[in-house]
Amino acid sequence: MNEITKNVQTAKCENGSCKNERNESKVEIILLIISAVLFVLSVVLQILKISPILVMIPALLCVLLSGYEVIIDGIKSAIKLSLDETTLMTVAVIAAVILGEFVEAAAVTLLFSLGELLEDKAVDKSKDRIKALVDIRPDTATVIVDKLKTKTVPAKKVEIGTLIEIAPHTVIPIDCVVIKGKSFVDTSAITGESLPLECEKGTFLQSGMLNGDSTLYAKTTKTHENSTASKIVELVENSEKNKAESEKLITRFAKIYTPVVMLFALVIAVVPPLIFGDFVLWINRALVCLVSACPCAIVISVPLAYFAGIGSQSKNGILIKGGKFLEILANAKAFVFDKTGTLTENKIVISDIKAFGNYNEDDIIKLASSVEEKSTHPVAIAIKELAREKKIEPLTFENYKEIPSKGVSAVYGTSEIRCFADNNEIKLTIDNKTAGIIKTSDQIRKEAKSVLTNLKKLGIEKIVMLTGDKKDNAEEVAKTLKIDDYSYSLLPQDKLRKVQELKKDFSPLCFVGDGINDAPVMAESDCAIAMGLGSEAAIETADIILSNGDLSPLPKAIKLCRKTMKTVKTNLILALTLKAVVIILAVLGIAPMWLAVLADTGMCVLCVINSTRLIKA
């Protein structure tokens, strides 16, 4: 069984593991709720100045219930000399307990464990991503066996060169080439483009595309495992696996701070006594240094700043799945945008009408909307909407016909009127003579231009557009939005390659998209941003979601992320500066233990107040 199949089975919960994970998650949540109640109880008892023992009991229970796993991890990390934020948190808790600051120890473990749970929830989304992608890859194919008799078989058993039947409104199971039939095929799941592909004999089709109203007969060109839809699933899986796990600032800080502080205290306890004597005096000073360096203020205020920043973003329609993505967005150097559904509305509009002979634009709209009256093609819908906007009433035609892969025709009086596609244009003919040409295009989002302008003002070094659409459409959007760097006619693997190349020079890199075809490149980017109205696969793969399906909050989100990171760094600088002063005084024998405790508690309160300001940002 290959890795993809394993992940798919995991996503479908066939082995029952999902149920176990849900149960474990429920236990964690229940323990955190009980811990929170115990913490509140200890705070109330402390305020009421009840017996210290009664304050200590619920506080220590809170520490054990909410922080036992983290403390165990911290001890293991210390033993392995692989110090991280769990070690830093463990040191903070032990120091707080030794000093009798039981409520503070409870606050540290409760907040830290809550943050870890939220991060784990974001990581668990990877299984949902695979599950969402499985829908574009059919498990069966209809094979032609003898004299057009058909048989449904598992798609993975179909060999190259097999004849298959693709019924109307079904997903193409395997990459193939059409040998008979004409139809319009929806390619949006693969290319992201809304305009259907007109296919006939010789047209190459990719698995994951959706057939239109007519039956197609085709010969497979790849196996199911090597077909496009399977490759998209594989690309997402590999990108997730290879995606660099950018460490949170607190993790990077802990790797340096924890060993430095512990080593410094050890040096103070051992080296001076060897020179000056009096081991008891210097061990006491070493303990004061260790208490002064207690990272409670840092461990509490830094996660709190992240939570406050993320909470404030949600009020603006920006859902961020973890603190590290907030940090990436704040430091982003490049933004890559998909076109259709992201920079455009994913809606076909009429961009230009040319009339010939004795006809004017309104005549062309009237005739075109009349002949397209019964068509459900996206272009037909756009023409009919324009006619309604202009209050142009359609004529009554006869003998409506839809010509697969070509267009539509109808009869008015003694004349045959036809609308058919010719490259990116729709030609209207009357008795085979061209009466008008209708040009279509994607409707650019009204906020797109101002958003890109503001991104440049914020110092974003590179803005790129990647699209599966044709050259003409891509050029038009790029020109309107003043995007200098863009690529077109790209498949998912092409977009992935482009982003990998860009990341070499511009990192962190953010990708903004909305389609299933964007899922691999989203997984590869440092930070993936999805339009809230996009596909399920894109939303699940994303690290940040624009819940209103609107680009306009993006510049403000970057500003707020930068403000959050500034707050985090300010807290660190304030805390470290005060601690450094107290430690120096402790080494000189000027700072007693009570001053170290006061400095740590006071700085903790100050940093918390500074962090909570972000909630109102």
The residues carrying an active-site annotation are 338
Residue 353 pairs in a beta bridge with 438
DSSP track, 431-494: TTEEEEEEEEEEEEPTTHHHHHHHHHHTT--EEEEE-SS-HHHHHHHHHHHT--EEE-S--HHH
Buried/exposed 200-230: b ≥16 CB within 10 Å, e otherwise: eeebebbbbbbbbebbbbbebbbbbeebbbb
Among 440, 478, 448, which residue's Cα sits nearest to residue 342?
A: 448
CA distance 112 to 120: 12
Q: Which residues contact 499 (CB under 8 A, 6 or more apart)?
A: 336, 466, 509, 511, 521, 524, 525
Q: At what angle do helices 296-315 and 554-587 cross, to 10 degrees?
A: 170
Dihedral class, residue 35 (left if φ above 0, else alpha if ψ from -120 to 50, else beta): alpha
In this structure, what are the phi and psi dihedrals at residue 519, rounded to the nearest 5 degrees? Answer: -55, -45
- The DSSP annotation for 139-164 comes to SEEEEE-STT-EEEEEGGGPPTT-EE
Count CB neighbours of 61 within 10 A. 18
- The closest of 340, 562, 361, 373 to 445, measured between CA atoms, is 340
Phi, psi of 113 (to 5 degrees): -65, -35
Angle at 142 between CA 136 and CA 144, to 5 degrees: 145
| Cβ pair 229, 141 in contact under 8 A | no
Output the six-digit token pair for 190: 């693969």
First-to-last alpha carbon distance for the chain, in angstroms, is 50
Q: Where are the beta strands (DSSP E) in 197-283?
A: 197-199, 204-205, 210-211, 216-220
Comparing CA positions, the residue from 454, 450, 542, 466 lying closest to residue 502 is 466
Partner residues linked to 466 by β-bridges: 338, 487
